Amino acid sequence: MAPARYRGAFSNGFQFSLCLGALAATVVNYGAEKIKAGWGWRLSLGLAGVPAVLLTVGAIFLPETPNSLVQQGKGRGEVKALLQKIRGVDAVDEELDDIVAANATGQAGDNGLRLILSQRRYRPQLAMAFLIPSFTQLTGINAIGFYAPVLLRTIGMSESAALLSTIVMVIISSTSTFASMLLVDRFGRRTLLVLGGVQMFLSEVLIGGIMAAKLRDEGQVSRAYAVVLIFLIAIYSTGFGWSWGPLSWLIPSEIFPLEVRSAGQSITVASGFVFTILVAQYFLAMLCRLKAWLFFFFAGWILVMTAFAYLFLPETKGIPIEQIGNLWGRHWYWKRVVGVEEVDDGQKL
């Protein structure tokens, strides 16, 4: 529903909301840890029901989108009225024509999942749907988010201090995500991904280097180095907050044509969840075995994904969603993958 010139800011608001939720959860955990009677964990888990209720009730009041109305077969006048309302202008016929044409393409084809898995023209979108959320988890951000208190205790902090430091880092991450909302439609998606990747890579290498050199056999570093490590983790979280964090949601949401949009988003979310589970399940075991080298493992993946964004991701800033499909045919690599297909009227796609 967002206009093309503000789509990045609105979409990045999704990640910003996630950060606010993480901040609220961390504050609750910090308070629950102070409860001496031992039932704090019940409060921590039980309060998760509050946002669940808000989501359920809020879903009742969600409006339809223009794309959804067209897919439901609503009249052109109704869809046009909604477009005029959310765009704030009367001249929406061109955008409406694009939406109607995209819907006609989807209805003429097979179901979205079969289309995106079988046809060459959707190969770039399929690759992005799988790789972008997978790469995002392989930055190690969720591992640090899940286990930051454990990690900070490993370098010698008390449990309470570790939780407090985690709150500070989540605040920093939330602030950087808000900054991304202001920057993404000005500088573009690809630029933020590359710069954020470089920032995270350098931070991970420095964290791994310090821990490898200074972590004692008993699992502690000096107070001074602990402060440096916390600072580097904050720098790393900042880099993630204004780049791969919000953009891993934004980019997949805007690259799928209407006919495969639902299927593509499903693949995106599923890939993210699969790798979230893998990282969450194996991080502690890997930390025990690899120790400081675990950060070099994540740094290696950050290097790979930054190079991928630079080489294979076209810039989508300011381009209407219905026109983004044209980018793949002009990209130096994807144009070879997409190829040229003949259609019934003799035109080339």
Q: How far apart, in whole angstroms, are the C-alpha atoms of residue 16 and residue 104?
A: 35
- pLDDT at residue 191 is higher than 70: yes
pLDDT for 76 equals 87
Instruction: Name 68's Cβ contacts closer than 8 Å, sequence gap at least 6.
Output: none
> pTM of the full predicted structure?
0.76
Closest of 38, 181, 200, 88 to residue 135, by C-alpha: 200
The predicted model gives 220-227 an average pLDDT of 73
Helices 159-187, 189-214: axis angle to 10 degrees equals: 150
> CATH number of the domain at 115-337, out of 3.30.300.30, 3.40.225.10, 1.20.1250.20, 1.10.10.10?
1.20.1250.20
Of the chain, the percentage scoring pLDDT greater than 70 comes to 88
Helices 123-138, 261-290: axis angle to 10 degrees equals: 30
DSSP H helices in the chain:
7-33, 40-46, 49-60, 66-71, 76-87, 93-108, 112-118, 123-138, 141-154, 159-187, 189-214, 223-241, 244-255, 261-290, 293-312, 334-338
Parse the chain into domains and list their residue ranges. Answer: 115-337
Query: Buried (b) or exposed (e) across 221-260, using 16+ Cβ within 10 A?
Result: beeebbebbbebbbbbbbbbbbbbbbbbbbbbbbbbbbbb
Return phi, psi of residue 348, to 5°: -105, 140
Write out pLDDT tens, residues 269-328. Answer: 999 999 989 888 888 788 788 888 888 999 999 999 999 999 999 999 888 877 888 899
Write out pLDDT tens, residues 33-44. Answer: 888 888 888 988
Residue 347 pLDDT level (bands cut at 50, 70, 90): very low
Write out pLDDT tens, residues 92-102. Answer: 888 888 788 87
Distances (CA, A) of 159 to 57, 64, 163: 36, 46, 6
